[in-house]
Amino acid sequence: MKKTLMPFTRRDISIKKSTSPVILKFSAAILTALFLIAIFQSFLYTVDPAFLDLDARLLAPSIGGPWLGTDALGQDVFSRVIAGFRWSLGIGTIGTTIGVLIGLSLGIGAAWSRNRMRVILSRIIDIGISFPYLIIAVTIVTVVGRGFWPLALTLGLVCWPTIARVVYAETLTLREREFVTAARLFGIGSFTSIVTHILPALRPTIQVVTAFTFAELLIAESGLSFLGLGAPLGTPTWGNMLNDSRTYMAQAPWMMLGPVVAIIVTIFAANLLGEGLNAREKSKSGRVSQ
């Protein structure tokens, strides 16, 4: 009886509210730990990741020995997975920063400007969105060359459209809000208004988008390295290691294990952070949005 009258009990709602901070803390903790690994990686090596030992090729994982095994050149898989953190997280961070900066300025610019300027800017965003960006990234990387900085800059330069679109939509509603209009009537200039009113109001959105972009760039980066188009050959990155492991799937399946776990955990943590932030924002504003 009660159930038909109130199909949505308090429990349904409370689950959502109580889980979001836990998710947030949990994912933030994992990500912090991963970044610490990337920064202090040299303390964690058991063996130098570049050290070749041709007598110890394709060793199976063992306690006391190389505990994630060794690869075809006798390099220690564990050390190389650890070394991969700096590469992946570094590229992810730089790329995301660039992408967010471009997306933010284009999005706000498009929403703030009027008439023809807005049409042009929002058209640029539309075109960017329908661009198959992985293919463009692949092409740029071929031409510019492999390596850390080319990859980080390229990914940063191709990932902004989604960010720009979200920022654009959000700014468009914000600029019609009372406090922004009030500021305009008080004669406060566009720039000041953007910095003091729009940017702080956009902060939750930007946080969410940043987390998701970061995860996406990690996938793109390791994918490019996996294709042999990202990291220079021999660099210890997860994509490279997975590519190497393809040849030895029958003899040495453990070569895959380390990088696979590292990739999944990192991307999962970043996605979870984005979801946690999203849930927090929603429960705060109390609105149901897509």
Of residues 78 and 212, the one with the C-beta less far from another protein: 212
Of residues 171 and 222, the one with the C-beta less far from another protein: 222
Binding residue for another protein (CB under 8 A) from 263, 273, 277, 279?
263
- How many residues line the site for another protein (CB under 8 A)? 48
Locate 273 and state its tokens: 């952070």
- The piece of 94-102, 126-134, 183-191, 195-203 that touches another protein (CB under 8 A) is 126-134
- Residue 139 binding another protein, by CB under 8 A: yes
- Residue 262 binding another protein, by CB under 8 A: no
- Residue 54 binding another protein, by CB under 8 A: no
CB of 127 to another protein, least distance (A): 6
CA angle 152, 216, 160 (to 5 degrees): 65
CB atoms within 10 A of CB 143: 9
Contact 248, 72 (CB under 8 A): yes
CB of 67 to another protein, least distance (A): 20
Taking residues 104 to 123 in sequence order and writing x for each that binds another protein by CB under 8 A, - otherwise, the string is -------------------x
- Residue 1 binding another protein, by CB under 8 A: no
Binding residue for another protein (CB under 8 A) from 177, 203, 264, 284?
264
The residues binding another protein (CB under 8 A) are 4-5, 7-8, 11-12, 15-16, 123, 127, 130-132, 134-136, 138-140, 142-144, 215, 219, 222-223, 226-229, 242, 245-246, 249-250, 253, 256, 260, 263-264, 267-268, 270-272, 275, 288, 290
